[in-house]
Structure 1
Amino acid sequence: MDLADMRRNYTRDGLSEESASADPITQFRTWFEQALKADLAEPNAMALATVSPEDKPSLRTVLLKAYDAKGFVFYTNYTSAKADDIEQNPQVCLLFTWLELERQIKIQGTAEKIGAAESLRYFASRPFGSRLGAWVSHQSSVISSRKLLEMKLSEMKRKFAGGEVPLPSFWGGYRVRPELFEFWQGRENRLHDRLQYTPDGEQWKIERLAP
């Protein structure tokens, strides 16, 4: 198979300085709502990039669960590899990729733990099985087999048979406070639109980047 011949021309839309919002959160909301209306699979899926204490980059997909002017929230195990990376270096990068819309959004910022009360509210809203799963998995640790997970799940089902599953002390959310946004819209002939937002006092400065 010749991968060099795999290509498509992007012609769906454009992004101009005049059409873009002056506020990147508002621009994000516009594009996110359009992704929802397009019925994309997991439109809240975002790649999260971190760097280890040994300066080794790592990348995985997490789910956005809330966002506002303060930042973008996801949840995880606080003993996971990503959490270890963030503990040592809170500078992270998020990437939303919506290929059906020929769009990407990159967000650079600082990750910080959210409060326990906020984590508890979200945890209580999760399905019963997902709450159990948080107790079962010591995320990122090496395990001998899947059977071990299934045995632990059965144990947790018995332990919390009443339906009340407490928030694990090792599980909760992070908020990424944005310091840079880039909105990418695919265009014809690879002359893509790229608008970058960076803080400028109380406002945001918008600059066009070469594709």
Structure 2
Amino acid sequence: MRHERGAQGGRGVEAAGLSREAVLDTALRIVEARGLAALTMRGLAAELGVAATAIYWHVGNRDALIAALTDRILGDFGDLAPPSPDAREEPAERIVGIGRALRQRIAARPHAIALLHEQGRTAVMMRPAQRALAAEVAAAGLDGERAATVVRAVLHHVVGFVLLERAVERGPEPRPGPDEVWRDPDGVDPALARELGRPHDPDALFEVSLSALVRGLLAS
């Protein structure tokens, strides 16, 4: 009886217009909320209120579904560019803008990024960012090996920053905390020790560190 009700529900939703895009949208929400392990064909069907056969009809098996999700996520990175492009900005400012946008996208979708990594598509994901950075580095007058170094350094900085943030976020509460670690300066300037013991703004740190990196590389 349960199977019959599911099948009837599936036909009802299909008649109401269940589409491949709706299936992918729901599957992606599951992955982004709970990770790839939480995505099952039966669970996806339940989420949509249809029979599992309806899912197979629209997207194929789970491997085909994951391949389609991978393409969808990659497409979301295809338009990576500095927000509100302004021709009056210096290349360094636009490069920082690209890095900022990339950090925001990666940080906002950790499970989706993990899916791309598991599928061996990380390099493809980074290509739009590489192209956008390459264009700005060329506008700054760099080419060849020196230009490639700037592009790679920016990408490493952005990805490394996000990974560290993620590790801190998911890790246990530090014991002792920074305030306790730096309570005794032990030869370090007391003012510096006090600052190191206080919470910091990761957004501000990202901006100042990436800007310094970019301007230093462009000027060197």
Instruction: Verify same fold: TM over 0.5.
Output: no
**Which one scores higher on RCO, CA 8 angstroms, separation ≥ 6?**
1
Quickly name the TM-score band, shorter chain normalised.
under 0.3
The normalised TM-score by structure 2 is: 0.25
More strand by share: 1
Larger radius of gyration: 2
The normalised TM-score by structure 1 is: 0.25
